[in-house]
Structure formats: structure tokens, C-alpha cells
Structure 1
Amino acid sequence: MWIHTVVEGDTLRDIAERFGTSTRALNRLNELGDEDRLVPGLHLLVPGPPTAVRAYQVRSGDTLATIAQRTGLSQEQLQSWTGIRDGQPTGQQTGGMQLTAGQTLYLPRPLTAAEKKTIEANGYLLPQGTLSDANILRDTPSLTYVCMFSYQARADGTLVPPRDAQGLQAARQLNIAPLMTVTNFDGTNFNTELAHTLMANGSIRRRLIENIGRTMQQKGFRGVNVDFEHMRPSDRPLYNAFIRELGQAVRARGFFVSIAMGPKTSDDPQASWMGAFDYRTLGQEVDFLMLMTYEWGWVGGPPMAIAPLNQVRAVLEYATSVIPSEKILMGMALYGYDWPLPYPSGRRASGISNNSAQNLAIVQQVPIQWDVASQSPYFRYRRADGTEHEVWFDDAMSVLIKFQLIYDMNLRGVSYWVLGNEFPQAWYLMADTFQIRKV
């Protein structure tokens, strides 16, 4: 598929005619809220052969003509992809992207069938116990795994299950392997003391492991996914031992073990929240793992990209230095945030699906900007009550750029948080860019 950057004056009909497609096809791929209106900086998926990206560093004095000569792309292709128009002065922003010396542009390259990497894809589902669970999975049938979030461990080693019967049935029908996600979530927070109790008390730990194995067998899970968060740094050895013991027990029953881990770029065993994650040891103990490479932008923090490319890459560079890359699923967010300004204002951001964020910009008729450092889109708008807001999200371009990390670092695949947030471009691009393994 191709990505077209909308500029001032573009219409959906004009774009469709330019690429020999229909407005209906463009709307299907992008789920636009309003076919008659677009905004500059919007990245539209366009039908076409599979496309990946390559990095190009802009040189002083570069023009579209010189970049075209160096990359083998035509100026027309460059204009469509970047939104930059010929003759635009260096550093001037148009359609969300820039031609600034030293900046990195991610430009298109053909992706042949022989090059297509086979990966695994996971998605976390918050089951509601209704037909909506099945419908969500039917909208994303190319998953390898679905993590049912979550089985909440209690201090006595018992488990409080989610209402996942509908989701499990749909997963079996769609040949998606269900994983049982076990957490130290107490219904309100990830509980530090609960995690300690579960791991430090031998009889409780063994009871929890037995309950996990029994539940997987009874419900038809293929494996367990442990998502313990906010653990004490001093509990690092306990967590290593718990995952080792759990792995031995569940593999004996024919299951596999995986974990979700917070992101970090070095190992400080005393670091708050992240010190408990011993990447090197845990990487040896699990069959695979999900790195939570998102949430830099969060509800209580300043407006910024949720999964900035520079931060995601830094985490993966460290992770692959101590964990076999073929065990790592890169986390990807299916959501953005909408912050009230000025920050801090005493108010928290609100979550928004990536597709809704795109369509909010169209409704508000505000241009979508492009942040070069994070390779992420954002925009500002003003509500009817006069309050200004800033929205950061992921779109087709930022997703395709992050997908390239899976190729560059030979990762196992990708893991999405959280299913049900609409983002059709991500699913179309994943199917276009990879072969998805089923187990």
C-alpha cells in the first residue's frame, strides 16, 4: 500500500483519480469520518503493492530533485509521500513534514514477497462477556495470540477471572491462540504488596501456579502471560524465581509462558518500577515476551507522543543486547491522548482511539503536524467552550515506520494494547507488510 500526505486543496476524489482507485476504497482503508473534507498532514492509505520504508537523512541544500536522484523515486512520488512541494525552501513545513538539513525522512521502498518477514502478532482484549468480544476479534483475525486481560491474582493464590467465554469461543473459531493474562491488579491498581505476597510466600506461590495451570487446561488456553507491574526493585530475585517456577510447571502441561515487561534502556536494579525487570534473566526463562514500548505520553504527563520512535528504538536496542531478538514482541498503542491546555492544568488527558483522533482533526478542520524526533502526528484544536487541546496519536505513517524496526532488529513480532480501539490502518498495513504466523 501507499501513503499519501494530504496538502491544502486535496480532495478525496482528486486523490482517488490520481491513484486510479475509488473514494469508497479510500474510505474503507482509512474509515474517514467525513469523505467530503480532509486536512493537511493527514496520512491516507492508498491501494497499491506492498511498501516498506528506508531512512534518508536530509542534506544541506537538498531539494526534491536531489533526493529523487539519490533514492530512485520520482519527484511526484516524493511529493505524494511527504506532502513537500518542489521549490519549497529548506525548513519550511508543508503538510506536516519538513525538508531540514539533518532531519530523517522515512521514504517508501518496494517490499517483495520474498522479503516479507513472518512474524507473530498479539493483541490484549478486555473482555466484556458480550458479543462485542467476538466482533472485535473478527475485525482483527490476523492475530497469532489474544491475551485475555486479566485474571487477577488474590493474596491467597486464587484467581478472579474476566468474563472471557465469548472471546475464547471466537478465538478458537478464528484460529487465534488465547493466552491467559495473570496480573497483580487488585481491581483499582497494580498492587505492589500483592505482588510481593504472591511471590515471597512459598505455599501461596505454588497455589497460584497450580491454579494457573488448572485454569488453562479447563478453558483451553495455549499459554500464560504474566503482567506484574509496580513491583518493588528488591523483589527482582523473587520475580525471576517465580517466572522460572511457573515456566517449568506450565511447560510440563504442554503450555508456554510469556510476560509483559516495562520499557527501559539500561539495567538499574534499584530503579523504581523497572528495577524488578531483569531483562537478561527473564529473557532466558520465557518462551517470548511483550515489551510495553508505549505510554511515554500518559494521562497525567505533558503532551507528547505515546510511542515515540526514538524512545522505542532505544528500548529495543538495549533489549536485543541482552534478550534473543526472536523472543521479543514490540508493543504498539492503538490509542492516543487528548490533553487540555495549558499543561499542567490540574486536569488529566482523556484517551482516544487513533482513528477517532484522525477524524477529530477533520471535524475541527485543523492541520495535522508531524514531529520529526518522535516520527508521530499531533494537532491542536479549540473546543466550543474556548479550551485549547493537544492530541497525540499514531497514524498510517508512524505505524509503518515502527514496523521497520521489526525488520531492522529481527524481532519476533508486535503486541497491541488494546483491542477495541479502532485503527484500521494498522491492520491493513500489518497484513501488507508481514506474513502472520498461526500456532
Structure 2
Amino acid sequence: MMYTVQPVDSLYLISQRFGVSIEQIKQANQLSGDIIFIGQRLYIPINLQRPTVYTVKPGDSLYLIARRYNTIVESIQLLNNLTGTEIRVGQTLTIPLYTEAIVNVNIANIRSGPGTNFSVVTTMVRNAKLPVIGSSNGWYKVRLHNGVEAWISGTVATLRAYSGDKPITNILGFYTLEEGPALPSSFTSFVNNPGELSQTGLFMFRISANNPTTIENFGEFTDQDIRNLVAIAHRNNVKIFPVVHNLLYRPGGTTLAKNVVKVLVSNPQNRTAFALNLLRLIQKYNFDGVNIDIEDVFIEDSANLSLLYAEIARVLRPRGYFFSASVPSRVSDQPFNPFSDPFDYAAIGNAVDEFVAMLYNEHGWPGSGPGPVVSIGWMERVLRYAITKMPREKIVGAVSVFGFDFNLTTGRNTYVTYNMAINLANRYNKEIIFDEETQTPMFAYVDGQGNEHEVWFENAQSIYAKIKLAWDLGIKGIALWRLGMEDESIWTMLRNQVVVRKD
């Protein structure tokens, strides 16, 4: 769990409070000494399978306990079925790890202060979820998608408190336009499930090959299309941002993509111009920030690439905009894969607010052989490396919701959505096996030409396993590439077995 250092805290007091050693806290947070600061966020490596239970001591009150654990009195009352504020010495209380207010009317006013005399900041629709960070006289202090703190009346919202008996995680859903008859757009998944999304990244913008300091539309859409998506996200308290990438140039492919980056990062003037164009893009559509998805880079451009991320942060952070980056998977400081070697995890992690480790390159690339796009072991290997390079609360593990049909005879791989995989299994009357080692569903079949196939894909069970690992590792959450290709029961799993954070 994450803990925010309070006045008079020390590593000793925190270790006693949570039942872990000082050394464990220091190792988990890469602390070289014993000095901590008010407001600092620390990862507490407690056993996340068991909720935190506190035993009331002489002099305690619900107010003091709530302050100690960064929660509110109402949440402790709710989680422990308390009707009043009286507690007794020796009584055990389950401590909330996360609290949210869920809008229970069609339209709810969100105000600048705890009362109807305060101005309306924005409005939220029914079932919108808002993380609660305080309370006052029947009003809840909440955090909005853009980081703004505001207030909602308890008369129009239902309070829910969570102990950690279920994983509490952020979910980033990547959004794309239609890619063909079998690959629908993400729109339906997005509009039907905003309560199970913390963030949405629109894969709809690209670095221009003609002028790499500028940004072009990727696909066919109008300004109003984007504004509609932003409005849907914001009234459901979902953070939304463009994904600006250097992919899928035709003609030119990956060589052109690398040359685009080379020009972009080559000098301070280009880096600044690009950062300012990102700022204009954000402001044009009222986005909450941006995600940079650069994937093809010459190794000699590594240092300049890191400077680009630093420059983007310099431009966006003072203006309050969120900065996310999607980065290829690495597992060590040593050269491992020419695709991911140019990316300095420590430098990028220092610049961004959110580091999205793109895990979906274990199998499926030409010559990889059959296997899951993201096995549970590969995911853990990449994330454990990332944790050594930056605060774990910045890290998101990006996982696939798609899979591949591996033709073992020809060596060719074909993209499959969940529905395509199920249809193949039904067509060839094959039983789907859940591979325990990789935590991934798969099946094998022989086609009409006698070619042998293995199909590895993702379902609700495999995605839950990845959410559970993210929770156990204490990272921010997972990202889903991409909405519209998933097992529909993922959304039921997220509603019933997971708590999706909105902050």
C-alpha cells in the first residue's frame, strides 16, 4: 500500500504502525538514509492479502485514527458497521485503504467548497466515481480527473470504503478507431464501462514525418468527435489524454519512424517546439495531459530522447498537466533487445508522472515462436526491473487483451481478438486450456490444409491474474491494449473482483 508521510512521522513510527521493519520500508522505497519528508509517498510492503487491522489504544478517537491512516471517520464507520463515534480500548478496526463517492442522481454538482453557497466547478453523471480525500459536515472532498480537489454533497453520492481484500488498481484503457471489420473501434467498450476505467488514452495522434516537431491526426475523425469523447470521460471522472506516437508510417515503416525521432530529439529547439505543440494539443481539446508512445529509436539517440521527456515535463508540469509515457519492455541495464535498449528507464521515470511499461512483446513478433503475448512471469520480470528505476506508484503494466494464432507449420502469426479466438476454438471443436504456468488461456488445432496451430490469447481470468500481480507489487495499475478487442466478461470481473481507483 502507499502511505503519505504525516507531521511527526518517522520510519520507526511507520514501521510500528504497519508491522514491517524499517529496513523493509527503506528497501521498498530505495531510501539510502532515515530522513523522510511530510507529504512524501512511501510504499509499505505489507501483506496485501490481509486488510490492515488497528487495535484501539488509550487516548484514541476515530478522528485521530483516521488522520493517522489518511482516511476519514465516515469510512472507518462504514467499513466497521459503526453507528456512532464511540470506540473502546482493545477494539479492533479495519482500516480503509481507499474510499470513493459514487454519484446516485442523474446530474450532481461538484463545488469548490463544502456547501451550496460555493461555486459549481463541474458536474458528474449518475454512477461517476470520485476518490474521497476528506469530509466536512455531510460533504465529501474529492479529487477530479484533472487533479483538482472539490466537494460533493453526501445527499447526491453514496460512500464506499475498501479494505484491500480485493485488488485496488488504476485501469488505463487505450482507445483506437476501427481497424477493419474484425477489429472494431473502442467506442462501445469506452462508453459502456467508464466506471471501470481510471484513464483513457486516445491512440489518434502521430508525430509528423514532414515536420517532427508537429503533430498530425492519425485516422479519420473530426474535432467534435474528440470533444465528445472528452466530455464523456470528464462527466464520468475519467482522465483522458491523446497518445502521440511515431508508428505505422507508410511508406517508410520503422526506418522512417527512427528517422523522425532522430530529427525530433536532435537539438533543444526541436524538443521545445514539440513540447509546446503538445501543450497546444492539450489545450485545444481540454485534455488532462498527454501520453507519448515512442517505440522505434536509433540507439545513438538514447540520450537526446531522455532530454525530450525532460523538456516535455518542464513545459507541462508547471501548468498542471499530466505526463504519461508508454515505453518498451526492459529487464536489465545491459543490452537486451535493440527495440528497447534506447530507453533509459531511470531518466524517463524521473521526467514522467506515469510510466507505462509496454509488456506485450514476449511472443507474437516474427520468429518468436508460440506463446502468450504477456505471460505472468514476463510481466513480473519487467516490472521488478522498473521498480528499481523509479517510484513504483508511477508504474503501469500495459497488457494485451488480444492474442495470436501461431501457424507452427508456416511460422506465420495472425492477430486474434478474444471473439476471434473463441470462434476458432468452436469451429475446430477444441477445448480451451488455462495454462497455469503463464496464467494464459490457449488451445491447439489443425486447419483444413493440415497446418498445426497454437492460439494464445487473454480472458477475464488472465487479466485478473495480471491485476493481482500489479497489486502485489504495489505499482499503480495496468493498461489494456486495446478497448474493443477484449473478453466482455473482463468488465464484470472488474466490477466484482477489483476496485478501480480514479486517482
Could you tell me the TM-score, scaled by structure 1's length?
0.69
CA contact (8 A) 1:150 1:181 kept: yes
Q: Does 1:209 align with 2:262?
A: no
Cα distance in 2 between the residues matched to 1:114 and 1:314? 24
Q: Which residue among 227, 231, 238 is the counterpart of 2:297?
A: 231
The alignment-based identity, stated in percent, is 27
Aligned counterpart for 1:262 among listed residues 311, 328, 342: 328
* Contact persistence 2:405–2:416 (CA under 8 A): yes
Q: Deviations over 1:170-205 (max 9, x none)?
A: 323433221111112253434111111101133322
Do structure 1's residue 122 and structure 2's residue 172 form an aligned pair? Answer: yes
Cα deviation, 1:285-319, whole Å, max 9, x if unaligned, reads 11111111123121523111111111111111111
Contact 1:269–1:276 (CA under 8 A) maintained in structure 2: no
Matched residue, 1:184: 246
Provide Cα deviations, 1:226-264, integer angstroms capped at 9, x if missing partner: 111121222221111111110110122220111011111
Alpha carbons 1:299, 1:337 under 8 Å: kept: no
1:44 corresponding residue in structure 2: none
Indicate the residue corresponding to 2:104 in structure 1: none
Per-residue deviation at 1:436? 1.8
Aligned to 1:95: none
Q: How does 1:236-247 map to 2 (within 5 A)?
A: 236-247=302-313
Q: Is the 8 A contact 1:133 1:167 kept in 2?
A: no
Contact 1:198–1:205 under 8 Å retained in 2: yes
Separation in 1, partners of 2:248, 2:164: 47
Deviation at 1:209, TM superposition (A): 1.2
Opposite residue 349 of structure 1, the aligned amino acid is N
Find the counterpart in structure 2 of residue 168 from structure 1: 230
Amino acid at match of 1:263: S
Cross-structure match for 1:69? none
Count of residues in correspondence between the two structures: 327
Structure 2 distance, partners of 1:386, 1:329, is 41
Question: SS of the residue aligned with 2:388?
Answer: helix
- The secondary structure found in structure 2 opposite 1:252 is helix
Match of 1:302 in 2: 369
Q: Which residue of 2 aligns with 1:65?
A: none
Deviations 1:76-101 (A, max 9, x none): xxxxxxxxxxxxxxxxxxxxxxxxxx
Letter of the 1:139 counterpart:
N
Q: Is the 8 A contact 1:124 1:147 kept in 2?
A: yes
CA deviation map 1:127-147 (0-9, x unaligned): 359x95542312331211111
Partner of 1:280 in structure 2?
A: 346
Structure of higher CA gyration radius: 2
Q: Which amino acid aligns with 1:174?
A: N
Whole-angstrom distance in 2 between the partners of 1:231 and 1:270? 15
| 8 Å Cα contact 2:175-2:187 kept in structure 1 | no
- What is the Cα deviation at residue 224 of structure 1? 0.9
Residue 140 to residue 120, structure 1, CA distance change in 2 (3 Å): same
TM-score, normalisation: structure 2: 0.60
Q: Which has the higher contact order (CA 8 A, sep 6+)?
A: 1
2:440, 2:379 → 1: CA distance?
A: 12
Stretches of structure 1 lacking an aligned partner (at least 5 in a row): 1-51, 55-111
Q: Return the alpha-carbon distance in structure 2 between the equivalents of residues 393 and 128 of structure 1.
A: 20
| 1:353 corresponds to 2:353 | no
C-alpha contact 1:356 1:422 (8 A) present in aligned 2: no
8 Å Cα contact 1:120-1:144 kept in structure 2: yes
CA offsets per residue over residues 88-118 of structure 1, 9 Å max, x none? xxxxxxxxxxxxxxxxxxxxxxxx8542343
2:259 and 2:239 map into 1 onto residues whose CA distance is 32
